[in-house]
Amino acid sequence: MREHSLHTVCEEAACPNIGECWSRKHATVMILGDICTRACAFCNVATGRPGAVDPMEPDNLAVTVATMGLKHVVITSVDRDDLADGGADQFVRCIQRIRETSPGTTIEVLTPDFRHKDGALEAVIAARPDVFNHNLETVPRLYPTIRPGARYYHSLRLLDRAKDLDPASFTKSGIMVGLGEERLEVLQVMDDLRSARVDFLTIGQYLQPTPRHASVSRFVTPEEFAEYKRIGESKGFLMVASTPLTRSSYHADRDFVSLREARLRALAAG
């Protein structure tokens, strides 16, 4: 990663799973720099004025993927509200370069919400990622304090529009629990995501990265996580990953294989 001047969300967001994932050669690459234009209350990524977009980043990423022999790669980014397209073109270029150099590698993108960036989502979906992921992060009631720069229903519409643009691709979203949400609010988020035809839901425990960030309201029990998984599957998600340490990209390579198998089973069942 250092050799090719790449950033990872594993490091910038202080992910608790970094040791396990990196020992398995699984990392989530964070493009468009390491400075975010937003200041979400849960996120450890630095906020400020980002630098210029690195034109060599797609090439460097493609070389890294090929060198590491990755079968599945996850590409995310900081929010870039300063860019006319929100950084969509850089996502597209990264996807294209990986397709050229590692045609057997499956690609998952975890994008910002592209608010007020007409055509950005359409450009990313046209590049045909295998998985389109955009996280809701929390329940709508908590958006003003936890995700103040975003809008819940805009994010929901983004996921629904992604499925309209490419019904064959997988869509994915995730939330954190332990921020003060109620159980019924989590179940409503599940219903909202199923209405948007999202295939894969991730639920994990929020952990406060620094004293400056939102406090942990409570630690959700493993039994509650297991119940969320059971309920989510009963609502029709192809997959639900729900454990305290679940994160958007945790076990993403293995989960993608399981996701394809789940779709085949669903199709076979009619």
In 102-202, alpha helices (H): 120-126, 143-146, 152-165, 183-195
Task: Say yes or no to pLDDT of 230 above 50.
Answer: yes
Task: Say yes or no to pLDDT of 125 above 50.
Answer: yes
Residue 69 pLDDT level (bands cut at 50, 70, 90): confident
Best mean pLDDT range from 44-53, 57-66, 73-82, 184-193: 184-193
Q: Are strands 28-31 and 7-8 parallel, antiparallel or unpaired?
A: antiparallel
Q: What average pLDDT score do residues 173-187 get?
A: 98
Q: What average pLDDT score do residues 138-146 get?
A: 98
Model pLDDT for residues 186-196, shown as the tens digit of each residue: 999 999 999 99
Rg (CA), the chain: 17
Element (H, E) at 224: helix 222-234
Residue 259 pLDDT level (bands cut at 50, 70, 90): confident
Distances (CA, A) of 62 to 27, 28, 68: 14, 13, 10
On whether the CB atoms of residues 217 and 168 are closer than 8 A, the answer is: no
Task: Say yes or no to pLDDT of 133 above 90.
Answer: yes
Note the pLDDT of residue 270. Answer: 73
Percentage of residues in the chain with pLDDT exceeding 70?
A: 89
Model pLDDT for residues 23-55, shown as the tens digit of each residue: 566 567 889 988 999 999 998 888 999 999 999
Note the pLDDT of residue 29. Answer: 87
Task: Say yes or no to pLDDT of 182 above 90.
Answer: yes
Looking at domain 7-268, its CATH class is alpha beta
The overall average pLDDT reported for the chain is 90
Note the pLDDT of residue 194. Answer: 98
Note the pLDDT of residue 12. Answer: 43
